[in-house]
């Protein structure tokens, strides 16, 4: 059983065409896969840029809303007293009130109110 030369050449030509077509399709598939990977990477980068832009915008809004206020302790205390008046049922001992009034006036605290100032408190 011998194959005619023209038929053998036709078979070889078909085999070469099939192999080259397969090779070309493989190249197209690889190119398509690479394009899909690049598109996915670009989409991820665009999403990251969008998130960063949103964070920056909200940060800028928060920074713009910051209001600097310099107050002294006395002003702050006075505002609290005006806003939340003292309960009339609240009573402080007289010694505490003397200390508070002395502190407000900038006077030294009376000696009787300082612990350990009496005799026998190590003042030898």
Vertex 117 angle, CA 116 and 119, to 5°: 95
What is the Cα–Cα distance from 20 to 12, expressed in whole angstroms? 12
Residue with tokens 């200390």: 99
Q: Which of 8-22, 53-67, 76-90 has the lowest mean pLDDT?
A: 76-90
Residue with tokens 């190590």: 122
113-123, pLDDT tens digit by residue? Answer: 455 555 544 44
| Proportion of the chain above pLDDT 90, given as a percent | 40
Vertex 114 angle, CA 117 and 78, to 5°: 165
What is the Cα–Cα distance from 25 to 2, expressed in whole angstroms? 34
Of the spans 37-51, 59-73, 83-97, which averages the highest pLDDT?
37-51
What is the Cα–Cα distance from 55 to 63, expressed in whole angstroms? 12
User: At residue 124, does pLDDT exceed 70?
Assistant: no
- Tallying the residues shown for the chain, one arrives at 124
What is the Cα–Cα distance from 29 to 36, expressed in whole angstroms? 10
Return mean pLDDT, the chain.
81
Six-digit token string for 117: 């100032």
Give pLDDT, residue 82. Answer: 59
């Amino acid at each position: 059983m011998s194959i005619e030369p023209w038929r053998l050449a036709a078979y070889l030509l078909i085999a070469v065409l099939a192999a080259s077509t397969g090779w070309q399709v493989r190249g197209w598939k690889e190119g398509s896969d690479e394009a899909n990977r690049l598109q996915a990477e670009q989409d991820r980068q665009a999403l990251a840029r969008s998130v960063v832009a949103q964070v920056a915008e909200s940060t800028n809004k928060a920074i713009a809303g910051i209001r600097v206020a310099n107050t002294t302790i006395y002003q702050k205390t006075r505002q609290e007293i005006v806003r939340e008046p003292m309960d009339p049922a609240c009573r402080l001992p007289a010694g505490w009130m003397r200390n508070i009034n002395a502190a407000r006036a900038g006077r030294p605290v009376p000696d009787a109110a300082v612990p350990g100032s009496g005799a026998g408190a190590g003042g030898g």
